[in-house]
Amino acid sequence: PTILGIESSCDDTSASIVKDGKVLSNVIANQSVHEAFGGVVPELASRVHQQNIIPTVHKAISDAKVSKNEINAVAFTRGPGLLGSLLVGSSFAKSFALALDIPLIEINHMQAHILAHFIDDPKPQFPFLCLTVSGGHTQIVKVNNYFEMELIGETTDDAAGEAFDKAAKMLGLPYPGGPLVDKYAQLGNANAYAFPEPQIPGLNFSFSGLKTSFLYFIRDKKKENPNFLEENMADVCASIQNRIVSVLMNKVKKAVKETGIKQVAIAGGVSANSGLRNSLLEAEKKLGWKVFIPKFEYCTDNAAMISIAGYYKYLQGEFVGQDVSPLARWEI
Ligand code: ATP
Ligand code: FE
């Protein structure tokens, strides 16, 4: 089957064609309007989605060199995400399905981030664990099957990506600062400064205490030396990254111990982080894990993960009617 996938949960408009489980196209229109605001402005996001959706879908279809009539189903992100943004993608998907008289497939965005591992080889085998670390979520998920997922740990406050972005903001770096912290961190000493490890029971995470201690740390250091940040940016970035990554890794190690599952995948934008990737590869060597790290283009928001998830739902014959409406919150 040939599936058109549409993603519009946050600030990226994306469309993709998957044919028989192979990605033929994956077009992403990023929104730059938010940069000046230091974060995504929901009202602006939905307006730009409206401008981008038709050209993005058009390009996905032409890049894939298929004709509209060959498309067998439309998969779209139903949630979770920004309601105004989701409405644009879901309304478009519904109209498209109605016009071509083909089935409609709803996709949970957080499941799709995990199912991005089924785009390329090697693919994980069920059951596996997935650490999903993005701008809005931090989750450890036990993946029993394509659409049978158990949330076994999650953040109680900020997401890991948010922790990176907020740390970056305190350092005066532009939004989204996660990738910049990573860039500086690669030049610095990760043990230069020690930040406290949050003590949260079970497999849950917390980053708000770390955020506060980082804020005070910078304030105090700047009092001693106004040029502290300029002089020590690499060491500060390496140290805070080291702590965020160790918080993530310690919980994943605990999850592996508790479940006995040694196949560990990561998903979401923070999987691009070099510190996290290195720690996982080290665990693979030392602890005998099998680690799965997606290609960067499939880590952040993209429609290829939506159309691949749609492909598996198509095989199961799982369709929805025209009365479906988007969900800002939707449990995995
Ligand atoms: P969600 O899927 O939860 O709705 P999202 O899709 O908006 O959130 P993603 O696009 O998956 O989030 O990830 C974006 C986040 O990843 C941002 O917080 C960004 O700073 C962070 N990020 C991207 N690259 C890196 C990196 N190399 N190091 C650290 N953080 C990074
Ligand atoms: Fe996402």
182 among the known binding-site residues?
A: yes
Quick one: average pLDDT of 266-292?
97
Q: What is the pLDDT of residues 118-152, one digit of tens each?
A: 999 999 999 999 999 999 999 999 999 999 999 99
What distances in angstroms separate CA 175 from CA 22, 40, 105, 119, 206, one per listed residue?
34, 10, 33, 29, 22
Q: Rounded to the nearest 10 degrees, what angle do helices 83-100 and 42-63 cross at? A: 30
Peptide bond preceding 124 in cis form (omega within 30 of 0) = no
Which ligand ends up closest to the CA of 163?
1
The HSE-up count of residue 186 (CA atoms within 13 Å, CB side) is 10
Q: Torsions phi, psi of 281, nearest 5?
A: -65, -35
Ligand 1 is surrounded, with C-beta below 6 A, by 9-10, 81, 109, 113, 134-137, 161, 164-165, 176, 178-179, 182, 268-270, 272-273, 300-301
Residue 133 annotated in ligand binding: yes
Does the pLDDT value for residue 34 go beyond 90? no
Mark out the alpha helices in the chain (DSSP H runs).
Answer: 42-63, 83-100, 109-115, 160-170, 178-185, 208-224, 228-259, 274-287, 304-316
Is 36 strand, coil or helix? helix
Which residues make Cβ contacts (< 8 Å) with residue 81, sequence separation at least 6? 8, 9, 10, 109, 326, 328
Q: Whose CA is nearest to atom 12 of ligand 1?
A: 135
Residues composing the chain? 332
Strands of 73-79's sheet in order across: 22-29, 13-19, 2-7, 73-79, 104-108
Residue of 134, 138, 241 with the most ligand 1 atoms within 8 Å of its CB, for mutation: 134
The structure tokens listed for 94 are: 């519904």
* Distance between start and end Cα atoms, the chain: 25
- Cα–ligand 1 centroid distance for 168 (angstroms): 13
- What pLDDT digit, counting tens, does each position of 48-64 carry? 999 999 999 999 999 99
Q: Is residue 280 predicted with pLDDT exceeding 90?
A: yes
Say what the pLDDT of residue 183 is. 98
Confidence class of residue 36 from pLDDT cuts 50, 70 and 90?
confident
pLDDT at 159 over 90: yes
Residue with CA at minimum distance from ligand 1 atom 6: 301
Q: Whose CA is nearest to atom 5 of ligand 1?
A: 135
Return d(Cα 332, Cα 320) in angstroms, integer.
Answer: 17
CA of 196 to the centre of ligand 2 (A): 28
With a cut of 90, say whether residue 38 has pLDDT above it.
no
Span from the CA of 252 to the centroid of ligand 2 (angstroms): 20
Q: How far apart are CA 304 and CA 287, in angstroms?
A: 32
What is the tens place of the pLDDT at every residue in 69-92? 999 999 999 999 999 999 999 999
Give mean pLDDT, residues 195-224. 96
Coil, strand, or helix at residue 235?
helix
Antiparallel, parallel or unpaired: β 128-133 and 138-145: antiparallel
Percent of the chain whose predicted confidence (pLDDT) is above 90: 95
Ligand 2 centroid from CA 119, angstroms: 16
Q: Residue 122 burial (CB < 10 Å; 0-12/13-18/19+)?
A: exposed
pLDDT score at 33: 84
For the CA of 133, the nearest ligand: 1
According to the model, what pLDDT value does residue 217 have?
A: 98
Q: What rounded mean pLDDT belongs to the chain? A: 97
pLDDT, mean of residues 93-108: 98
Task: Return the ligand number nearest the Cα of 299.
Answer: 1
Q: Is the pLDDT at 35 greater than 90, yes or no?
A: no
Q: What is the pLDDT of residue 259?
A: 98
State the pLDDT at residue 103. Answer: 98
Decide if 283 contacts 264 (C-beta within 8 A). yes
